[in-house]
Each structure stands twice: as structure tokens, then as C-alpha cells.
């Protein structure tokens, strides 16, 4: 194993990226979901059934992505199966510039975020991407030196925290929500929808013909984030919310777990041991971004990217925006003048409604320094 050595040089990355020099530089982020079987293993390749909004795949005989009407290569049942969602017409396509504009509005609207004095982190040693598999604890101190827990009494924080103990992290063990837990999901959605952040997001998506009413929007958020599906053994053992915000363990590895509040609370209880980081974002105020390595009660996370100091509604809004606008693709945003990209993945083995996909995962994949 390599020794822990702080790095002061720019981080190197082995991932391929767009040639545009204005694109944010990616940092390594590994997610087991990237290996999930593609939806065309579960549906006829000549049909759009269970394929609406899927990423373009040149090997398919016909297509169901948002731009197939523009190129004239849609499957014959595209309009009947996908057109009603309003997501798939080129006239309704959301541009990169529109994504950057709405993400800046969401960034400015996050009045519930932590102030600089509310959260103090100690990022300590930085390693290279080539060292992330070594599982060496390079940081003797906790990541969080101080958090003003008065933040957690704010309605959206409190509603978010109430959800975190509703899951068992091991995949393959079915989740069963009590009436109280279902009520907590509704309470969280109700509280976030009161915020300027989510009002900005809904207004944007409504204008883009994605949703005709706020009720429709909230119903879809509940399904895509809290709807249960199976990651193992056929049990309904997972959801987008559990994976992204609470974290899971599958095949001896941590998957998901992309939330700073969850990390802080688990670290405070002695269940998380912060090892190192490979990236620290350019923002001089919150929210910031950190890509880190850690041990979660005996299980290792090779690279876990997370916003730091953001409100729950801010993360929920950005991930939802990217999943709706760029499902299964890199979503290029702008926060405080800095580019940032988020990757989402759809869960393709099962659907809800008329072929809509659940969120498999969502996380920050790149920014710039």
C-alpha cells in the first residue's frame, strides 16, 4: 500500500471527457449501478416499452430518446408510449444553456444552506485517483470539525433527517414502510415544496411542458425517489432516495451515500471513518463539493462525491432536475459561475406509471478548480 502524501498538483483523471475546454474536468466516481443491465435486455429492441427517455444507443434498431423525432429514428410506438409524457419531443428539449440558467437560479435561491461559520471541515490529506483503491486511512482527524446543529431544526432539514432511519442498508433485504414512514415521505415533499428552491424548479419544468400541475410534479417526485425496486434477490430492497442520500452496502462495498448531513451524523456516532479526498471544489462558500474516501462501519467507499453545506432541498432539486432533463446522462450545470456536472442513472429493470423510470443513482461527477 502507498503512504499518505498530500498532493498539491492538479488532479489527474483517467476518464474520457468532451473536448470542449470549457467543460468541467471529471473526477473519478465509481458506482456499481453503471454495470446494471441495460433496459433492452428486458424489452423488445423494436419497441419503446420500458425504454422512454433512455440514453441513445447506436446498436439499437430504433430509438426512444428525447431527440429521436428530430432524427427520424424513433420506434413505431414511440409517440403512443412516450409522447404523452411530454419529455420526448424535440420542441420541448431542454438546452445546456437553460440547465445552466435554472441551476444558477436554484443556487441563489438556497437560503437554507449553511453559512461559512455553520460548518467547518478538515479535509486533510489529498490523494491521487490511482490510490483510491488502497484503503489507506490518510486522515487521523474527522472530516467535520464543527456543525451548527441549529440548522437541523429547520423544517426541510428535520423532515430529511426523519427519513434516514427508515432504511436497512444491506441490499437483498426487503424494505417495508410503516404508515408513519410513508407520512414522513409526504412531510418531506411538502416541506421542500414550500421552499424557493423547489418553486424555481417547478416553475422551470412547468414552463418546459414537463408537468401540468404542482400536484403532478410532487406525485412524480414521490414515485421516482421513494418507489421501491429490487437490487438483489428479487426483494423490493432499494429506492433512489435510500441509495443517494442514506447509502447502501452491496457485495461488501458502499454504494451511494452522497449526502453531507448523513455523513456528519454517522461520523459523530463513530460509524464513519474519513480516509482522504481526491477533490475539493472551487467554491469559497457553501455549498461546496468534496470527493472522498471513507469506511462506513466496516465497508469501504472508494470515491464518494457530496455537496457540503447545502440544504436538503438544494440537492433534491438539482438531482431531480438532472434526472428529468438528462436521464442516464451527464447533466451540465453552473453554480456561482463555476461549471458542475451531475450524472444520473435510471433503474431499468422495473418502471412505474406509463413506463417511467426510477432513479438508480445521482451524484456529482465533475467541476473545476
8 Å CB contact between 218 and 193: yes
Determine which one of 40, 113, 277, 301 is catalytic: 301
* Residue entry with cell 422495473: 350
> How far is it, in rounded angstroms, from Cα 333 to Cα 368?
12
Determine which one of 40, 63, 250, 258 is catalytic: 258
Determine which one of 63, 113, 243, 356 is catalytic: 243
- Is 258 labeled as catalytic in the residue annotation? yes
- Is 301 labeled as catalytic in the residue annotation? yes
Grouping H, G, I as helix, E, B as strand and the rest as coil, residue 63 is strand
8 Å CB contact between 368 and 282: yes
Residue of 252, 274, 303 lying closest to 31 (CA atoms): 303
Residue of 253, 265, 312, 260 lying closest to 281 (CA atoms): 260
How many Å is the maximal CA-CA distance in the chain? Answer: 59
Grid cell at residue 7: 498532493
8 Å CB contact between 15 and 28: yes
- Is 113 labeled as catalytic in the residue annotation? no
> How far is it, in rounded angstroms, from Cα 342 to Cα 233?
29
Q: Which residues are catalytic?
A: 243, 258, 301
Amino acid at each position: 500500500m502507498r503512504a499518505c502524501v498530500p498532493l498539491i498538483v492538479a488532479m489527474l483523471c483517467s476518464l474520457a471527457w468532451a473536448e470542449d475546454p470549457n467543460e468541467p474536468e471529471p473526477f473519478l466516481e465509481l458506482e456499481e449501478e453503471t454495470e446494471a443491465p441495460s433496459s433492452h435486455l428486458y424489452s423488445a429492441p423494436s419497441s419503446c416499452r420500458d425504454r422512454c427517455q433512455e440514453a441513445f444507443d447506436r446498436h439499437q434498431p430504433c430509438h426512444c430518446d428525447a431527440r429521436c423525432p428530430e432524427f427520424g429514428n424513433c420506434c413505431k410506438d414511440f409517440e403512443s408510449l412516450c409522447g404523452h409524457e411530454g419529455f420526448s419531443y424535440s420542441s420541448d428539449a431542454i438546452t445546456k444553456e437553460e440547465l445552466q440558467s435554472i441551476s444558477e437560479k436554484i443556487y441563489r435561491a438556497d437560503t437554507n444552506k449553511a453559512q461559512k461559520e455553520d460548518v467547518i471541515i478538515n479535509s486533510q490529506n489529498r490523494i491521487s485517483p490511482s490510490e483510491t483503491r488502497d484503503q489507506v486511512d490518510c486522515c487521523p482527524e474527522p472530516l467535520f470539525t464543527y456543525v451548527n446543529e441549529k440548522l437541523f431544526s429547520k423544517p426541510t432539514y428535520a423532515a430529511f433527517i426523519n427519513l434516514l432511519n427508515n432504511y436497512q442498508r444491506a441490499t437483498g433485504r426487503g424494505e417495508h414502510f410503516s404508515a408513519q414512514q410513508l407520512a414522513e415521505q409526504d412531510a418531506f415533499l411538502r416541506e421542500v415544496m414550500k421552499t424557493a428552491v423547489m418553486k424555481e424548479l417547478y416553475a422551470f419544468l412547468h414552463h418546459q411542458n414537463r408537468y401540468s400541475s404542482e400536484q403532478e410534479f410532487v406525485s412524480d417526485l414521490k414515485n421516482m425517489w421513494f418507489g421501491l425496486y429490487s437490487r438483489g434477490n428479487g426483494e423490493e430492497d432499494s429506492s433512489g432516495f435510500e441509495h443517494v442520500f442514506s447509502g447502501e452496502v452491496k457485495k461488501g462495498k458502499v454504494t451511494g451515500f452522497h449526502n453531507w448531513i448523513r455523513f456528519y451524523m454517522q461520523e459523530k456516532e463513530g460509524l464513519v471513518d474519513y480516509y482522504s479526498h481526491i477533490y475539493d471544489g472551487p467554491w469559497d462558500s457553501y455549498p461546496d463539493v468534496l470527493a472522498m474516501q471513507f469506511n462506513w462501519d466496516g465497508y469501504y467507499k472508494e470515491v464518494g462525491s457530496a455537496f457540503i453545506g447545502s440544504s436538503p432541498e438544494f440537492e433534491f432539486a438539482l438531482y431531480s432536475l438532472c434526472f428529468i432533463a438528462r436521464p442516464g446522462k451527464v447533466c451540465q450545470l453552473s453554480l456561482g459561475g463555476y461549471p458542475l456536472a451531475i450524472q444520473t442513472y435510471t433503474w431499468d429493470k422495473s418502471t412505474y406509471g406509463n413506463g417511467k423510470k426510477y432513479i438508480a443513482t445521482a451524484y456529482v461527477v465533475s467541476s473545476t478548480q
